[in-house]
Amino acid sequence: MQKVIESSGINKSFGSTKALNDISFDVNESDVFGFIGPDGAGKTTLFRIITTLLLPDDGELKILGIDSITHFKELRKNIGYMPGRFSLYQDLSVEENLNFYATVFGTSVQENYDLIADIYSHIEPFKKRLAGQLSGGMKQKLALSCALIHKPALLVLDEPTTGVDAVSRSEFWDMLAKLRKHKITILVSTPYMDEAMRCDRVALIQNGHILTVDEPQNIRDAFPRKLFAIRSASKYKLITTLRKFEWTNTAFPFGDSVHVTFTNDTAYNSVIEYLTKEGISDAAIEETKVGIEDRFLELMENGAKA
Amino acid sequence: MKRFLGFVKKEFLHIFRDYRTLFILFGIPAAQILIFGFAVSTDIKNAGVAFLDLSNDEITQKLTDKIVSSGFFKKTENLLNYNDIDVIFKKGKTKAVVVFEKDFGKKLVSDGKASLSIIADGSEPNTATLVTNYATAIISDFARENAGPSLNNSLRINPEIKMFYNPNLKSHFMFVPGVITMILILICALMTSVTITREKEFGTMEVLLVSPLRPIQIILGKVMPYFILSFINVLLILALSWFVFALPVKGSMALLLAESMLYILMSLTLGILISTVSSTMQQAIFISLIGLMLPTILLSGFIFPIENMPKIYDYVSMIMPPRYFIIIIKNIMIKGTGLLYIWKETLILIAMTIVFIGLSVRKFKIRLE
Amino acid sequence: MTNNPVISVHNLVKKFGSFVANDNLTFEVYGGEIFGFLGANGAGKTTAIRILSGLSKPTSGEVLVAGYDAYHQTEKIKKNIGYMCQKFSLYEDLTVKENIILYGGIYGMSKSLIRSRLKDLLSRLKFEEYENRTISDLPLGLRQKLAFSVAVLHEPRIVFLDEPTGGVDPITRRQFWEMIYETAERGITVFVTTHYMDEAEYCDRVSIMNEGKIVALDTPGKLKKQYNAESVEEVFIKIARPYKN
């Protein structure tokens, strides 16, 4: 299988700020590859380097087998890009936007319509509406259609689901999954940890460093300890009290429970007693399945210390 | 009250930390005073004057010398006949022609009076008025100086004043071409500079850059619609000048339109160049409108002749396109010249356009940094 | 949590022309409660929050915030609430200290009170080294935490948080929520909107808006039981459809 992206040792600084630090990763053809990390981690900078909009300070980057720094002109024909801010022309209609991008890339809407049919069908009833008047979810779909219309080999999506509600986010990932069958490789960034599970492979990035690259299941399963979930009605008191417990390694709120790891797993037996003594009488503990976010938190804690 | 003061303090902090605002607050007034102070003057200095001496005697020579040595005038040519007057005005350097009648000296000595004409270039009404006033003053002075001891011997030299091209000295012969020059460059530069920076601000530029579109295609693509629409604009403006101000187009209409379109093209490309150094629409508007407006008004020579300013302004105004277009447009409309007299200015505008396009393409960042 | 409502809304309607942004909303929020306000974009959340924070007036219905009427006493409401929105809260070109002094002044706090709260805040957030740094120099996570602290600097009765943790890393998010918990313990009511469904679980009660109406309002636990869901996200997906357009 050909590698669509091969990179090693990419560094990028803006003035005194080091945005990217020795970034190396590979992406296989047809993969949906996710970059997960908070704001300021370096995702946008990296994506701009991949789409040839920025030059790295050093490092190597081959895209579709071509050196991205010297042959960027050729690459630009084969990349579809959806930058963070849904760059659509607000005063052009849905149709006009799509036609424009098709024409600029030397194709027509009809030619690759099958590629975007699933996505575009949601907004086609509104094709005469100005892009500026669409809702967030619809703008997202239009931007995706425009990025795909020339059938790029590599699709780069920079935080396409940020600021959009949970339902639209889920629909968007359904659409991405369907694109696999067209052999398009997709590079996505997102701050939402749960979206990591929908990628084939994932890179966790924080403060310009890649903390890990692997299939999401592997990342999750590499969690080094046993994970426990403790519930109580007094959530805040539970957290603060747990942190005072001598065997607590980490304690993080997770929805309606607190996920805890212990420095010594036998502490499982004594923690309820401790909590009751401290005034929390309704605590209940059970071992729980590790989710990818648990692993991310663990990596980030350690990454932050590194 | 405390709330209010706290808020005021914050506003001060914002201002001091924003260098651009400080520049506007202090830098621009200072620059304006300097420009206004020197550029705006109602004096004349070294105004070109030509002489048509039909008498050629000692007295005309003395009067000529007096005029030329006054410091206000400098001699351009000695003309041989009346036909030369039109030609020399078209050349542009001469602002007035002094015509001595035949036997000027003899008549002055025998009759105590003689006549001369001062023919001024009416296409610059301001200058024409000044020039004739100064010249008349010098001539009166001469008359007084050379009068005999007794009052009966006063000399009377009556200058007859004529305005060439603009017999009624209509000031809008000066204003309207100047306003056309100013408006075209401001609007055109504004339009193109804004349209590009708008794409930068809204983020659509990012996607355009990653597309197969080449910078030259983007640039020309932006210029095209405005170019075509501006043609209509020019027709509109000329129609208004004709119907409302009775401004003639003495020369070739086709040439005028062609030159106007050249000027517009140059202005549009200037706007593109401005957009390569602006990252926001606000900056672009600021530079194209405010940055260009004052220099265009003051330094193009449309109200205040450049010759009257310190030499340095002359040099600065050489890079100002409006300076050349004013000459072109006045020549065609008011003096009725053809390409022959304005080929230099035309060439300069063409060169500027090419330079602007070249620079824009080079500076057009194909990447985001 | 007390039993006295600090926010009391009955049949709130807000129209913009013929468009009904808030359609007969009725709910109460109690002192010291953490109240989650969820809904898709365009469901009407921002409109409702603006009315509750005294920034706009209802078209009809009863709205009392901290005991003050939202039609005639908006100035009193503003004095008794704190507000933090995602896009802007602190002045980027001012330092941490300058921002705190500024807001303290705006809230009408005395100089000595501002000074003591400043010290307190800096040590609690472990921010001492950032006292004289401009906001634009701080990473996003720190900014959000600071913005929140500034919003409650004057110990208001209610604090409104509009998507306060957008884009922030998960560790900082959780630290932020611990700050929210601690604030609620002090008796300050927290009214928060968020797109992170797991954060909905941290709330005492949650309401879900859709197309201008409230379609669910209860504790996370009861909602999950009612809709047979494992998470609030599932509940949300089941009952909230994004705006059709």
Distances in Å between the Cα of A180 and the Cα atoms of A33, A75, A155, B125 are 11, 20, 11, 76
What mean pLDDT is reported for chain B? 85
Of C40, C167, C181, the CB nearest to A191: C167
CA dihedral C48, C179, A38, A147 (to 10 degrees): -10
Question: Which residue bears the tokens 């920025």?
Answer: A54
What per-residue confidence (pLDDT) applies to A163?
72
Given pLDDT bands bounded at 50, 70 and 90, which one contains residue C63?
very high
Instruction: Phi first, then psi: give them for residue C188, nearest 5 degrees.
Output: -85, 130
- Chain A interface, best mutation among C165, C168, C245, by max A CB count within 10 A: C245
Q: Does C187 touch chain B (CB under 8 A)?
A: no
Cβ contact A38–C169 (<8 Å) = yes
Cβ contact B10–C108 (<8 Å) = no
Neighbours of chain B (3+ CB pairs under 8 A): A, C
How far apart CA A169 and CA A160 sit, in angstroms, is 9
Q: Does C113 touch chain B (CB under 8 A)?
A: no
Cβ contact A55–B367 (<8 Å) = yes
Q: Give the closest-approach CA distance of B284 to chain C in angstroms.
A: 23
- Low-confidence residues of chain A: pLDDT under 70: 1, 85-86, 303-306
Q: What is the pLDDT of residues C68-87, one digit of tens each?
A: 999 999 888 988 999 988 76
Dihedral sign for Cα A115, A120, A121, A125, please.
negative
CA dihedral B61, B67, B70, B72 (to 10 degrees): -150
Of A83, A101, A147, the CB nearest to B203: A83
* Residues on chain C touching B19 (C-beta within 8 angstroms): none
Tally the residues of chain C. Answer: 245
* Residues on chain B touching A146 (C-beta within 8 angstroms): 207
Neighbours of chain A (3+ CB pairs under 8 A): B, C
Cβ contact B2–C108 (<8 Å) = yes
Q: What is the pLDDT of residues B125-140, one digit of tens each?
A: 888 888 899 999 998 8
Question: Closest-CA residue in chain A for C168?
Answer: A38
* Residues on chain A touching B207 (C-beta within 8 angstroms): 81, 83, 87, 101, 146-147
Which of residues 276 through 295 in chain A touch B, CB cutoff 8 A? none
Cβ contact A87–B212 (<8 Å) = no
Kindly give the residue spans of alpha helices, DSSP state H, lying in chain A: 43-50, 72-78, 94-104, 113-123, 136-148, 166-179, 216-221, 235-244, 267-277, 292-305
Q: Does C130 touch chain A (CB under 8 A)?
A: no
**DSSP 8-class letter at A289:** P
Cβ contact A296–C170 (<8 Å) = yes
Residues B119/B164, Cβ–Cβ less than 8 Å: yes
* Residues on chain B touching A81 (C-beta within 8 angstroms): 206-207, 210
Average pLDDT over residues C138-167: 87
Question: Closest-CA residue in chain C for A124?
Answer: C245
Nearest to C236 by CA among C204, C209, C205, C203: C209
What per-residue confidence (pLDDT) applies to C245?
38
* Residues on chain A touching B195 (C-beta within 8 angstroms): none
pLDDT for C2 beyond 70? no
Per-residue pLDDT of chain B (369 residues; tens, 9 = 90+): 777 777 788 888 878 877 777 777 787 778 777 777 777 767 788 889 999 999 888 889 999 999 999 888 999 989 998 888 988 988 888 999 999 988 888 888 888 888 889 999 888 888 888 889 999 999 888 888 887 665 555 677 888 888 888 887 777 777 788 888 888 898 899 999 999 888 888 878 888 888 888 888 888 888 899 898 888 888 888 888 888 877 878 888 899 999 999 999 999 999 999 988 887 888 888 888 877 887 888 778 777 777 777 777 888 888 889 989 988 988 888 888 888 888 999 999 999 999 999 998 888 877 776
How far apart CA A45 and CA A62 sit, in angstroms, is 17
Instruction: Phi first, then psi: give them for residue C74, nearest 5 degrees.
Output: -65, -35
Q: Does B17 touch chain C (CB under 8 A)?
A: yes
Question: Closest-CA residue in chain B for A90?
Answer: B202
What per-residue confidence (pLDDT) applies to A90?
86
Question: Closest-CA residue in chain A for C240?
Answer: A167
Q: Give the closest-approach CA distance of A197 to chain C in angstroms.
A: 16
Question: Which residue bears the tokens 């420095």?
Answer: A263
Q: Read off the tokens for C39.
A: 């809904």
3-state secondary structure B105-136: HHHHHHHCEEEEEEEEECCCHHHHHHHHHHHH
Comparing B198 with C88, the larger pLDDT belongs to B198
How far apart CA B84 and CA B164 sit, in angstroms, is 13
Given pLDDT bands bounded at 50, 70 and 90, which one contains residue C244?
very low
Q: Does A91 touch chain B (CB under 8 A)?
A: no
Q: Is A195 exposed, middle or buried (0-12, 13-18, 19+ CB in 10 A)?
A: buried
Residues C80/C66, Cβ–Cβ less than 8 Å: yes
Q: Does A166 touch chain B (CB under 8 A)?
A: no
Pairing of strands C205-210, C213-218: antiparallel
Q: Read off the tokens for A171.
A: 């629909």
Cβ contact B210–A84 (<8 Å) = no
Distances in Å between the Cα of C158 and the Cα atoms of B91, C31, C79, C184 are 80, 8, 10, 9
Rg over CA atoms, chain A:
23
Interface A-C, measured as beta-carbon pairs within 8 A, has a size of: 93
- Chain B interface, best mutation among C75, C103, C106, by max B CB count within 10 A: C106
Cβ contact C102–B6 (<8 Å) = yes
What per-residue confidence (pLDDT) applies to C88?
66
Distances in Å between the Cα of B240 and the Cα atoms of A44, B198, B331, C240 are 53, 32, 19, 61
Cβ contact B202–A87 (<8 Å) = yes
Nearest to B268 by CA among B363, B188, B357: B188
Cβ contact C220–A38 (<8 Å) = no
**pTM (two decimals):** 0.77
Q: Give the closest-approach CA distance of C196 to chain A in angstroms.
A: 8
Cβ contact B211–A105 (<8 Å) = yes
What per-residue confidence (pLDDT) applies to B340?
86
Q: Does B6 touch chain C (CB under 8 A)?
A: yes
Distances in Å between the Cα of B132 and the Cα atoms of A104, B32, B84, B98, B116 are 62, 30, 19, 10, 12
What per-residue confidence (pLDDT) applies to A304?
59
